[in-house]
Amino acid sequence: MQVVTSVGERRNTKEMEVENVFHMNKGVDHTSYAKNSLMQRTVTSKAGPIIEESAKKVYNTLRPECLMMAEMGCSSGPNALQVVSRIIDVIEETSQSINRQCPQFGVFLNDLLGNDFNTMFNLLPNFNKDLQEAKGSSCGPCFVSGIPKSFYGRVFPDKFLHFVHSSYSVHWLSQVPRGLVSENGEALNKGNIYIAKTSPPEVYNTYCAQFESDFMLFLRSRSTEMVCGGGMVVVLNGSINSDDSDSILELLGSTLQDMVLEGVIEQEKLDKFNMPFFTPTVEEVRKLVEAEGSFALNKLETFTVDWSVDTSQNLETRAKFVAKTVRAIVEPFLTTAFNHAVIDDLFLLFETRVKERIARKTGEFFTIVLSVTKKE
Ligand SMILES: C[S@@+](CC[C@H](N)C(=O)[O-])C[C@H]1O[C@@H](n2cnc3c(N)ncnc32)[C@H](O)[C@@H]1O
């Protein structure tokens, strides 16, 4: 069955399923995303100067009375509102430096339907209180709302947004690429859950094609929603080489394979399971921004963050941290295929594999920061 969306693109119902089931671990307990997203906070903080520079440029160019900004893929937990605070700070400083009244702010926290928006909204009273205490009447009121909709497609009206930020979200695909399991049920990526050393080349090609079509749709949708002169910063998990297979998901896949050998998981389930994820190279991102054509490229930079963020800790602490970080992200999607009952054991074994791996060789998240301006 096909569904025609607001931008007219045809999407099938299987694709909608990922949209409806995908989310990070909810709540605020010890496995939640809210409590296990220091790695993502570190990434956004490193990209902070580029985010601030872009927001400042937008304000100086457009001087809106109410600055409309979208935080796309906000998840639940403190990260999204921290970056929003940072943007408000820089706009307030800039408006003061030119003796203008600080604008009002419309902040739109966007994520998929399954996101734990309640946990996010529970942080708003403190966010508003801190803003009021820090800025008083010098800063225009800030109106925050949640927008549950996939960013692969239209989310806002035409020419509505002045600033868009998205961090560690657009490497998640709109769907698991269709070609990974053939029409007659034959699995292409046996024993893996993402591109891995044992994956045939078609696996990379299939993933890459899905990313290209999703990222193009993301750019086209934002292009229509943003005003000319508006700014967008997208921070995403990337790769150094296009078919780089030495990723944390390769390690998680091989841990699942170990559990197959222990008889805990069925081989067929693992063979047919793949993550809706793709880490592009800088060149792949540049090519797509240029091909889409409606954004001027300001910056395209990269940096790395250690899987464990803090390499001064001992191996046990670091491995535990990495396993908790990964679990908070992938547990809900893993349980669409594997029984809940295996998850604790899976992540205990994964922690051991991470420890062995980082004792041998550093593991790093390669990050791409893209800063663009909507052309006239
Ligand atoms: C790893 S979290 C990052 C959250 C936050 N930006 C941060 O830095 O902590 C990725 C988020 O992207 C969201 N996401 C993935 N695909 C999405 C889509 N198509 N539309 C909206 N949000 C999406 C996920 O639900 C998840 O909450």
> What integer pLDDT is reported at residue 57 of this predicted model?
98
343 Cβ contact list (under 8 Å, min separation 6): 327, 331, 334, 335
State in Å: Cα 73 to ligand 1 middle: 3
Q: In the numeric block, which tokens belong to residue 6?
A: 């607001």
Under 8 Å between Cβ of 172 and 230: no
Q: Which residue has the tokens 């929603």?
A: 225
Instruction: Spell 284-306 as b/e; 16+ CB within 10 A means b.
Output: bbeebbeebebbeebebeeeebb
The residue count of the chain comes to 376
Q: Considering only CA atoms, which residue is closest to atom 27 of ligand 1?
A: 75
- DSSP H/E element including 10: strand 10-12
Choose which residue among 5, 75, 82 to substitute to test ligand 1 binding: the one with the highest number of ligand atoms within 8 A of its C-beta: 75
> What integer pLDDT is reported at residue 140 of this predicted model?
76
> What integer pLDDT is reported at residue 42 of this predicted model?
97
> What integer pLDDT is reported at residue 5 of this predicted model?
47
37 Cβ contact list (under 8 Å, min separation 6): 24, 75, 77, 78, 79, 325, 328
| Dihedral Cα 275, 281, 286, 288, nearest 10 deg | -30
Query: Could you tell me the residue range of the domain that residue 302 belongs to?
Result: 2-374
Q: How many structural domains compose the chain?
A: 1
Q: In the numeric block, which tokens belong to residue 175?
A: 């769907």
Which residue type occupies 186?
Answer: E
Residue 351's domain is classified under what CATH number? 3.40.50.150
Nearest atom (ligand 1) to Cα of 44: 8
Which candidate, 213, 214, 189, 212, places its Cα nearest to that of 202? 189
- CA–CA gap between residue 290 and residue 32 (Å, rounded): 38
Ligand 1 contact via 237 beta carbon (within 6 Å): no
> What integer pLDDT is reported at residue 118 of this predicted model?
97
243 Cβ contact list (under 8 Å, min separation 6): 195, 201, 204
Ligand 1 contact via 127 beta carbon (within 6 Å): no
Q: Which residue has the tokens 């880490």?
A: 279
Average pLDDT, 10 consecutive residues per value, the chain (376 residues)? 45 62 94 96 97 98 97 97 96 93 96 96 94 83 96 98 98 95 92 94 95 98 98 96 82 97 96 96 98 98 96 97 98 94 97 96 95 96
Under 8 Å between Cβ of 51 and 85: no
State in Å: Cα 74 to ligand 1 middle: 6
> What integer pLDDT is reported at residue 4 of this predicted model?
45
Ligand 1 contact via 285 beta carbon (within 6 Å): no
Strand partners, 231: 163, 373
Ligand 1 contact via 167 beta carbon (within 6 Å): yes
Opening angle at CA 367, ends 362 and 373, nearest 5: 170
Question: Cα 355 to chain center, whole Å?
Answer: 25
